[in-house]
Amino acid sequence: MKSFLVIGLGRFGRSCARELCDLGYDVLGVDQNLKLVNEAATYLTHTVQADATDEDFLKSISIKDFDACVVAIGNNQETSVMITVLLKEHGARTIVSKAQSDLHAKILKKLGADKIILPEYDMGVKLAHTLCNTNIYDLIDISPEHSIMSIKPPKEWAGKSLGELSARDKYGVNIIAIESDEKEANVFPTASTVINPNDTLLVIGGNENLNRLQSM
């Protein structure tokens, strides 16, 4: 089973840790604030009160065994930078760090964070997409250039099979799943699967191609 380390149990860290736990994963939540740790102990698999800049503590929890480590500390940039560096030094496989500003994000990236979250910025971008494209349900960034989008099919796609549509050749995107009204999601659509106007499509591709799709 995958296991995750979440350092910092503020609003962001707690919601991430709790959701991971609800999804059935093993989560160790760490905070130096005992009140937050005790509160989190009611819903997390494991919790520890500790200062995550303490190298002896980091050694004791075997950082390299976690599938991913989340540094959920935004306000204290020096601490977030220190913890990101220490996690890297202690063999963290994947580090996701929360940033407070573009400069903070740049520094974290240079220091080896694999993914940077700028919560307010990221949510703002997501909201803008949702507001101007009512047919977009969700947008997941998988790299700076690629995303997965959940959309209603453009009108001209309705009634066509995936084979006829040739979305990869014509639009530069792959349709990876189709959810129809009355059925469960079809996660293995084939060339003969026909798109209905009320379907919701899960589409993966380069951001430019996805943007083009949105404006159709």
Residue 19 or 145 having the CB closest to ligand ATP = 19
- State the CB neighbour count (10 A cutoff) for residue 159: 12
Q: The tokens 């997501």 sit on which residue?
A: 126
Give the residue among 132, 22, 38 at the shortest CA–CA distance from 9.
38
Q: Which residue, 106 or 168, is less far from ligand ATP as judged by CB? A: 106
Q: How far is the CB of 80 from ligand ATP (least distance, A)?
A: 8
CA separation, residue 116 to residues 70, 93, 96, 104 (Å): 10, 15, 6, 10
Least gap, CB of 179 to ligand ATP (angstroms): 32
Query: Minimum Å distance from CB 36 to ligand ATP?
Result: 5
Show the tokens assigned to 37. Answer: 């740790």
In whole angstroms, what is the distance from residue 56 CA to residue 118 CA? 29
Residue 63 or 73: which CB sits closer to ligand ATP? 73
- Residues of the shown chain interacting with ligand ATP in the complex, contacts defined by CB under 6 A: 7-13, 30-33, 36, 51-53, 72-76, 79, 98
CB of 90 to ligand ATP, least distance (A): 14
Q: Classify residue 99 by burial, with Cβ atoms within 10 Å: 0-12, 13-18, 19+.
A: buried
Give 12 or 25: the residue with its C-beta nearer to ligand ATP. Answer: 12
